[in-house]
């Protein structure tokens, strides 16, 4: 295969990723938020005790389901592309709130108090760095929505710059 064919394939893949990656990321995060929120609303979440013990000043009987509703609203907003700036702000607050586990319950998050040795709960919390980063990427594109082509429209070379 000639080098020009490889460059053409690479350019095609890059255009495809530029066209769809932010949309897929936004939808994926929205689905995760709705799913996790629904588990809390229907009282089948495996993290109810973790949330209750972390936010110990709130009654878990109302706080955990309310957090679930909050997550569902944020997720639905991401899916529907409505009020994204507000939804992403709420998303960031919720994500940062998950890190309270590391502060309020270090004995639950870390093995033998060592912050480099995470427990299952610690890993569950720390992986939220990826979700927080995903929200930042989606947020960076809110003002450039017009530059992201819709299905069936002519491809546009996206420009990814700091907003």
What are the extents of the domains in the chain?
A: 14-147
Contacts of 14 (CB under 8 A, 6+ apart): none
150: left (phi over 0), alpha (psi -120 to 50) or beta: beta
Beta partners for residue 110, in sequence order: 118
**What is the reported pLDDT for 3?**
84
**What is the reported pLDDT for 40?**
97
**What is the reported pLDDT for 154?**
55
Q: Where are the alpha helices (DSSP H) in the chain?
A: 3-41, 48-54, 60-80, 84-98, 100-104, 106-109, 120-126, 128-140
**What is the reported pLDDT for 142?**
83
7, 34, 40, 46 from 77: Cα distances, Å? 38, 10, 18, 25
pTM of the model: 0.81
**What is the reported pLDDT for 23?**
93
Q: Which residues of the chain have pLDDT under 70?
A: 144-163
**What is the reported pLDDT for 4?**
87
**What is the reported pLDDT for 162?**
38
Q: What is the pLDDT of residues 43-75, one digit of tens each?
A: 999 999 999 999 999 999 999 999 999 999 999
């Amino acid at each position: 295969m000639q080098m020009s064919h490889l460059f053409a394939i690479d350019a095609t893949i890059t255009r495809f990723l530029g066209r769809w990656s932010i949309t897929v990321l936004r939808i994926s995060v929205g689905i995760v938020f709705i799913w996790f929120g629904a588990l809390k609303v229907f009282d089948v979440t495996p993290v109810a005790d973790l949330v209750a013990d972390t936010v110990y000043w709130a009654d878990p009987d109302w706080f955990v389901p309310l957090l679930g509703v909050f997550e569902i609203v944020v997720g639905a907003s991401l899916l529907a592309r409505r009020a994204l700036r507000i939804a992403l702000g709420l998303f960031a607050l919720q994500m940062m709130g998950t890190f309270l586990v590391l502060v309020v319950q270090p004995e639950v998050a870390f093995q033998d108090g060592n912050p480099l040795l995470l427990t299952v709960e610690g890993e569950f919390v720390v992986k939220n760095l990826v979700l927080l980063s995903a929200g930042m990427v989606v947020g960076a594109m809110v003002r450039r929505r017009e530059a992201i082509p819709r299905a069936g429209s002519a491809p546009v070379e996206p420009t990814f710059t700091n907003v």
